[in-house]
Amino acid sequence: MASSQVDSALQEIQAAPVGDKPSRYSALLQQITASSSNLAADLNAYSRTLLDDNLGVVVLRPLVSHFVEQFRNIKDPEVKIEVGENVIALLQTKGVGQYEEQDTLIKEAVAEACEETDDYRKSARVLGSINLESTQRSLTNDDKAKVWIRIVRCYLEEDDPTSALLHLNKIKNIIYSVQDKETRIHFQLSQARINDSQRNFLDAAKAYYSLSLESSIAEEERHQALSSAIVCAVLSPAGPPRSKMLATLYKDDRASSVENYSVLEKMFFDRLIPPHETKAFAAGLQPHHLALTSDGSTVLDQAVLQHNLVGASKLYNNIGFDQLGELLGIDAEKAEDYAAKMFEQGRLSGYIDQIDRCIFFEGEGSGERKTGQSERVVGRELRKWDANVQGLAEEVERVTTMIQTQYPEFYAAQTVH
């Protein structure tokens, strides 16, 4: 409840001549912001009286602008949120179209206060209520992008990549015309974080790596972006696209200074990663990196298992289900299942003999999903058989020719009927 002194002053101003009201409203506002013991209640009473007064737009708009100036200087975020929400609601009843600029400034200040109190979702909602298609104000694509990128970052702080992506897609339509360098960098970072959160790790690695090359950001931030790129590359599914990304990162001179360089090196050279190194790598990951998948394993578990399967293909031409399971630290059935999926998805080349319980490796995958696998295997075996028969026939012919050359009499006697 407002103080009795402020209530009395507001009643006197309402009864005063219209010509005296602007100066008296301004003086009272200065007094409230300078010495009020109950700032929120006094400002709420002041704003309610001001906007309920029968003042014309020409007189009222400068007073609202003065209020906004004083309001934005409030230090207490809780007070700013309470008062700001009240004023936003009052402006709605007055017809916000007449006060769009003031409405926008108040909403931006309230959103900032919400961020100070770690209420990022509320900040995003307030920013989302700003009219960016105004006919009263001239808004550039840079102006729109700055608001949308703030909303995106708020949703990412709330770990809500779906809502963040919704607003990021709005920026995608105008990003090529945005001139502000900081906004463009925040767009790249947000894109990387969303891909990371949604487990599109290969796309995230590419975006983080691109950020790590930006000379306009601080060295420490570039190093962090490179580290994030390595983490996402390690977590991405095994196959030719990841191999290219790993090669790019490994060949970067800065990579050796990153904490997870040893894992990157083993991944690049297709060396097996032992359990203790996997555990050390997991210690530095974020919660969504360690979320359980449908088969009860983590994303990291799957990434390392698939990598070790590729590593095994470099060591063996063929291997039994049980031996492969022992090598990967899983049961034989799961080892067969992982191998089958990687063959099918083109991330590894080979085939499975289920009768002999053996996996045959044929080198690196093409990256394309396989179809007609059984026909392909049968066709290959038939071609091998044909080649063997042809080779045997050629050897018989060669021996026959040698006999004819060295022992013509014997050869002639054998061919006489």
- Residue among 96, 110, 188, 180 nearest 143 (CA): 180
389 has a pLDDT exceeding 70: yes
Helix (H, G, I), strand (E, B) or coil at 190: helix
Who wins on pLDDT, 53 or 190? 190
Is 321 buried (19+), middle (13-18) or exposed (0-12) by CB count in 10 A?
buried
Is 236 buried (19+), middle (13-18) or exposed (0-12) by CB count in 10 A?
buried
372 has a pLDDT exceeding 50: no
Give residue 409's pLDDT. 77
Who wins on pLDDT, 380 or 165? 165
Task: Tell me what percent of the residues of the chain surpass a pLDDT of 90.
Answer: 42
Q: How many CB atoms lie within 10 A of CB 54?
A: 7
Q: Any idea which residue has 């030719």 for tokens?
A: 240
pLDDT tens across 18-31, in order? Answer: 888 899 999 999 99
Task: Tell me what percent of the residues of the chain surpass a pLDDT of 70.
Answer: 93
Give 141-179 as a DSSP string: HHHHHHHHHHHHHHHHHTT-HHHHHHHHHHHHTTGGG--
Cα-based distances in Å from 385 to 85, 373, 378, 388: 81, 18, 11, 5
Q: 285's torsion region: left (phi>0), alpha (psi -120 to 50) or beta?
A: beta
DSSP state of 36: -
Is 173 buried (19+), middle (13-18) or exposed (0-12) by CB count in 10 A?
exposed
263 has a pLDDT exceeding 70: yes
Dihedral of CA atoms 102, 104, 106, 110 in degrees, nearest 10, equals: 180
E strand or H helix at 374: helix 373-406
E strand or H helix at 353: strand 348-353
CA distance 236 to 219: 26
Who wins on pLDDT, 141 or 272? 141
Give residue 401's pLDDT. 85
- Residue among 1, 30, 25 nearest 13 (CA): 25
Q: Rounded to 5 degrees, what angle do the CA atoms 248, 253, 255 make?
A: 70
pLDDT tens across 69-125, in order? Answer: 999 999 999 999 999 999 999 988 877 677 888 999 999 999 999 999 999 999 999
Who wins on pLDDT, 101 or 297? 101
In this prediction, residue 1 has a pLDDT band, given cuts at 50, 70 and 90, of low
Helix (H, G, I), strand (E, B) or coil at 319: strand
In this prediction, residue 191 has a pLDDT band, given cuts at 50, 70 and 90, of very high
Give residue 298's pLDDT. 83
- Is 154 in contact with 166 (CB distance < 8 Å)? no
DSSP state of 298: B
CA distance 34 to 26: 12
Which range has the worst mean pLDDT, 190-204, 250-264, 272-286? Answer: 272-286
* 181-197 and 219-235 helices, crossing angle to 10°: 30
Whether the model pTM is above 0.85: no
Joined together, the tokens standing for residue 355 give 């009768």
The overall average pLDDT reported for the chain is 86
Backbone angles phi, psi at 293, to 5 degrees: -95, -175
CA distance 22 to 92: 22
- Is 120 in contact with 157 (CB distance < 8 Å)? yes
Q: 407's torsion region: left (phi>0), alpha (psi -120 to 50) or beta?
A: beta
Who wins on pLDDT, 389 or 409? 389
Q: Any idea which residue has 């100036």 for tokens?
A: 69
Who wins on pLDDT, 329 or 265? 265
CA distance 375 to 365: 18
374 has a pLDDT exceeding 80: no
Give residue 296's pLDDT. 73
Give residue 373's pLDDT. 47
Give residue 364's pLDDT. 63
331 has a pLDDT exceeding 70: yes
Q: Any idea which residue has 């983080």 for tokens?
A: 208
Q: What per-residue string of b and e applies to 200-234 under the rule 16 or more CB within 10 Å gives b?
A: bbbbbbbbbbebbebeebeeeebebbbbbbbbbbb
2 has a pLDDT exceeding 70: no
